[in-house]
Structure 1
Amino acid sequence: MKLTRRQVIKYGTATAASAMLPRQIWAQSTVQAGDVTLDSLSDGNLVLPKSFAFGDTPPDGAEDIFARYGITGDTMTPDCNITLLRNGNRKILFDAGSGHEFMPSAGTLLDAFDALGVDIYDVTDVVFTHAHPDHLWGVRDDFGDLMFPDAAYHMGRAEWDYWTDDDTVNTIDEGRVTFAVGAKSRLEMLADQITLFDDDQEILPGVLSRLTPGHTPGHMAFEVQVGSESIMIVGDSIVNHHVAFEQPAWLSGSDQVPELAARTRLALLDQLSTTQTRLIGFHLPGGGLGRAERRGDGFIFVGEDT
C-alpha cells in the first residue's frame, strides 16, 4: 500500500486530540559500561493504517499474527525509539526523529532530552539510518534552523546519493513524493557539514556501519560497542515486532524495495538470533531493546522487560 500525504494527514489528525494528552515519554539508560551509556529516547509514536503493511489483501495468517499482538482495529501505533550513545565526550544521536511537521503523535524527542538532562547543544554527532520523515525531519526546528547546531552529521553514501538525486522525486512511488521532497530540502541544509560513509566502516569510535538495504535503497544499521558487548541499532531494517519477526520473508508495503528488504531482514535476524546479539529497533516496543529468538521457521522479539 502507498501511504499518501492525504492519509498521513488523515491518520495524524485522528490522533491530534489524543496527542494533547500526556504521552509515554521514556529516557532511560538501557545499557551502561564504564563511561559508555546507551539510552533509548521516545519520539512518540506513529499512527498508520494497518493496511499499510500489506494493502487490502494481506497474506493468509497475517490477521492472526496481528491479533496475537493486540492489533485488532484499523490502525497501528508503532513507537519511535531514538538511540543516544554517550561515549566519553561524545554524545551520538542515531536519527533525529520526526519533528513537528509529520504527525502530531510524534516529535517528542526534546521532552525525552529534558527527562534525561541532555541539551540540544550537547549533541556532538547525528548518525542517520535512513532519510524517511520519522528519522530525518526532526533535524530542522520550528524556525527552519538546524535542531542540533553544533553537531556533525553522518549518513551512508548510497542513502545520501538516492535522496539528493534530482530524479528521485520523479521515480519514487506516488505515495512517497512528499518523503522525497522533505528529505532533499533537509539534506541540502547539511551539505557542508555531513560526512558520508560506506558499509563496514568505523564511522565514530565504537560505531561500525552495516549496510542493510531494502527499507530504503541505502539503509544502514550500526554495531555499537558498549564495554565488551556489541549491540545492533537496526533502524527500520526490522520494522516491527510482529510480522517482521514471525514471517520475515513476507513482502511489506512499508519497504521501498520489498524483495531486497526481505532478504536483508532474514539474514539480519538469523545473525542476531544465532549470536544472541542485543538489538534496538526504531519501531519495536518498550524502548526497542531486546533479542531475536528463533521460533520454528520464524523468530520472536524478546524485549528486556519480557
Structure 2
Amino acid sequence: MIDRRTLLAAGSAAALAPTLPALAQGAAVTPPFHHVMVGGLRATVVNDGAATRPDATQGFVVNAQPAQVAAALQAGGTPGPALVNPYNVTVVRTPRGLVLLDAGTGATPAMQVNMRNAGLDPAEVVLVAHTHFHGDHIGGLLAADGSPAFPNAQIAVPEVEWTFWMDPAEEARASEMRRPGFANARRRFAPYAGRITRFAPGAQVAPGITAVATSGHSPGHVSYLVADGDRQLMVIGDAITTPALFMANPEWYPVFDMDPTQAVATRKRLLDQLATDRIAVVGYHFPMPATGMVERAGSGYRLVPLA
C-alpha cells in the first residue's frame, strides 16, 4: 500500500517531469495553438511541447490495476501503453494586456515560439497567474540564462500555495524526493521579487479572470474562470488531467496528486459543475486543442471538443 507520505514525495518529484528519465521530453504537438473566444475576450491555448510516459499502466494511476488503465486508454482512443503528456499554457488578451495562466516548463523554446506564431508577443505579457508551483508549470518563468522570461510581467500566486512552498519548516520535513521542489520554486520566483501578489480563491486576478479553489493536486491549487457576459471558460491546471483516465474515472488519481482524497473530491465537484453549468474547459495536460465541453457518460464524464 502507498501511504500519503509516499504520495507527497512522488507527487513533488513528478512535478519536475521534464527532468525525469521516465519521460521523454520534446515531442511536437499539433496544432501548436488554438484560439477560443469568451465573449469579447480571446483566450489562446499555446502548446509548450510534450513528454511521453512509456507505460502509463505502471505506477501512473495509483488506485487502478494495469488492465483497467489499459482498457480506459483504449476506450479513450489511445492505444497505450505509452501516453503523450502535453503542456498547454492559456494566454488571455485582456484590456490591460496579455495574461498567462501558468508559465510552461521552460524545458524548450516551444512556448515562446508558439506564442509568436499565434500573434502573441511575450513582451506584452503583463501578468503571469499560477495554478500551482509544480515544476512543469513554473519552469517557464525563467529564460535559459536565468533572467525573467517575461520581463514586463507581474506575478500572481495562490496564497496557500506560496505559503507551503516557501515555508522552511515544510522543506525541512520533506522527503529527499520532495525537497527539490522548494528550491526550484524559490529560484523561479526570485527574479520577480517585488512584483509578486498573493491572493485567495475568489479573487479577480485580472479583468474577467477569477481564481477558483481546486486544491488537492497541490496544497493551494486554483483554477481560473475566464468570463465575459454569459460566456465562460474554466482553465483547470492539473485539477483534472488525461481525460481518458480521470474524466472517465473521477475516483482514480495519478501519482502526481499530493492529497489524493482532496484531489478526488475536487475533481468530482469540478466535473459536476462543468457538466451542469455547461462551462467550456481547458486542461493543461489535455491533448491539443485542449478545449471542450464536459458531458456525463455512464458513471464518469467525457470531453467533447468544441465545435
Q: TM-score range by the shorter chain?
A: 0.7 to 0.9
Give a deviation string over 1:214-245, Cα, whole Å, max 9, x none: 10000000111134312111110011211110
Give a deviation string over 1:11-41, Cα, whole Å, max 9, x none: 34x456xx5xx6535223222533x211111
Matches within 5 A, 1:1-306: 2=10, 8-12=19-23, 14-15=24-25, 19=27, 23-24=29-30, 26-34=32-40, 36-48=41-53, 49-50=55-56, 51-54=58-61, 58=65, 61-100=68-107, 107-304=109-306
* Most deviating of 82-91 and 264-273: 82-91
Q: Which segments of 5 or more consecutive residues in structure 2 lack a partner in the other structure?
A: 1-6
3-state secondary structure, aligned to 1:293: strand
Deviation at 1:291, TM superposition (A): 1.1
Q: Tell which has more relative contact order, 1 or 2 (C-alpha 8 A, sep 6+).
A: 2
3-state secondary structure, aligned to 1:93: strand
Identity %: 27
Q: Report what 1:103 is aligned to.
A: none
CA distance in 2, matches of 1:274, 1:204: 26
Give a deviation string over 1:21-72, Cα, whole Å, max 9, x none: x6535223222533x2111111111223513422597376222102223444
The AA in structure 2 aligned to 1:279 is V
3-state secondary structure, aligned to 2:21: helix
Deviation at 1:174, TM superposition (A): 4.2
Aligned residues, how many? 294
Give a deviation string over 1:239-278, Cα, whole Å, max 9, x none: 1211110111123212011111000000000111111111
2:45–2:89: 8 Å Cα contact kept in structure 1?
yes
1:38–1:226: 8 Å Cα contact kept in structure 2?
no
**Cα–Cα, structure 1 residues 60 and 267, in superposed 2: closer, same or farther, change >3 Å?**
farther
Q: Which segments of 5 or more consecutive residues in structure 1 lack a partner in the other structure?
A: 101-105
CA distance in 2, matches of 1:32, 1:223: 11
1:81–1:281: 8 Å Cα contact kept in structure 2?
yes
2:141–2:188: 8 Å Cα contact kept in structure 1?
yes
CA root-mean-square deviation: 2.4
Normalising by the residue count of structure 1, what TM-score does the alignment of the two structures yield? Answer: 0.87
